[in-house]
Structure 1
């Protein structure tokens, strides 16, 4: 599969008529990259090149972020976001794609594999949880730090994402702290959608090859969540990154991207 590398955005239409912005770059088998809560497709900017030389990378803007619509009457849930991904794949004419989701994107990816298994090749779940009874809860002190004023919250979130070394050695913007263009309504809706995620009971029915990735120093989504996911999904592989925080894919970029690429290469898709 070949796509325009210019990065110009396009739109798909969701079941409720909402316009969903997306972008396809690269060459090869399609790979959907799913961002974290309250973030647009820009979440993947720092590492997207790692995959675009081997795969057609597909990123999209969740409802309420980037160039997507944000209607107040819409359904906001990780399961709904998964249906929006299907709308994007349909618009592109893609019958099946590998899926790599991080944080809330990993929760969306679970529903893709559960509700639309024939559309998913290999599945990669990073820094995420299965929800429900399988959740290892976040420390209340972390939650309190994220419920403070904007400046303090931003600093707390930055510290949860990456450690001091990553901040000192990379001075560019950190596109992981939320889409600044979001409305307060959309931001709250994303928070509720992610918190309400519960695929735990259904996870044992995932039949796609699965790799679970997690940083051992992740305080936002404690690493026990990754361990439980890997135990819950039949045949899942687990890779932990010692000392890495929530954004393990930045802190340990070389290792993390290599692990994903090796896993995907071992699960080349046959025609649907």
Structure 2
């Protein structure tokens, strides 16, 4: 039954968009922004990390507009401006002046742009397998954004996402496939990144001068074997962001938060705990 779906949580209007979001724990707020895979939701992306981080912080994870169980307004333009406005609108709606921001892949580009445009609203920044800098689109990302719903196509995508086949069993493929064909999900997804897709990589990028000017302590995380977003993106971010550090996981694809869940959670806990010292 739909009402028992763990992906559906609280709902609030953020920048005029009725937003589905998870809100757990207490303490300094941490906003988690998910990636852009087909059928994705905040819960699908962050389900392993949220309970761990909620032991020490208030963790907030919205479904960005066009994804998950957030409202899909008619005539919506899905672009970086809209997603940044929604993230900022969520902080406003919750009465939060400042939060740490964690961005995964596509969500990294949103986190980066949010920190650039509203630096006073961001405490510390975490960018994981992040978009947001210029790079030639990979065959992996082109396949993700070009997904056409079928169980076989979803199995192929999961092989691209994860380093280990043990993580991408048929049960997970079936779960993500069924998520991708829920009413409205594929319509909005297909409208976001039509071919040629290099232009959407470019549209998600922030200017080098703006990234170099970021004052925030930044933790950059990447899987060495990522086939979706190249490791070179994170090396670029490391060179451009003055107060940054990079942690690379070997034997890891695009899903650090799932493939190395316990280590990922500890990294974030330690990084955020330093801010309170």
* Fold shared by both chains (TM-score > 0.5): yes
Provide the rounded CA distance (Å) in 1 between the counterparts of 2:263 and 2:64.
Answer: 28
Q: In the alignment, which of 192, 204, 224 is matched to residue 197 of structure 1?
A: 204
Q: In the alignment, which of 100, 103, 108 is matched to residue 101 of structure 1?
A: 103
Alignment partner, residue 12 of structure 1: 13
Q: Scaled by the length of structure 1, what TM-score is found? A: 0.84
- 1:27 offset after TM fit, Å? 1.2
Show structure 1 runs of 5+ residues with no match.
1-6
- 1:144 offset after TM fit, Å? 5.0
Show structure 2 runs of 5+ residues with no match.
1-7
Alignment partner, residue 87 of structure 1: 89
Alignment partner, residue 159 of structure 2: 159
Q: CA RMSD in A?
A: 2.6
The equivalences for 1:30-109 within 5 A come to 30-38=29-37, 39-42=40-43, 43-109=45-111
**Paired residues, what number?**
257
Q: SS in structure 2 opposite 1:80?
A: helix
- 1:21 offset after TM fit, Å? 2.3
- 1:25 offset after TM fit, Å? 0.8
Conserved? CA contact 2:104–2:129, under 8 Å: yes
Q: Scaled by the length of structure 2, what TM-score is found? A: 0.83
Conserved? CA contact 2:32–2:61, under 8 Å: yes
Provide the rounded CA distance (Å) in 2 between the counterparts of 1:256 and 1:194.
Answer: 28
Provide the rounded CA distance (Å) in 1 between the counterparts of 2:110 and 2:88.
Answer: 11
Residue 217, structure 1, aligned to residue 225, structure 2: yes
Alignment deviations for residues 45-87 of structure 1 (CA, whole Å, 9 cap, x no partner): 1221110111100111111233322123222112321111111
Alignment partner, residue 216 of structure 2: 208
- 1:153 offset after TM fit, Å? 2.1
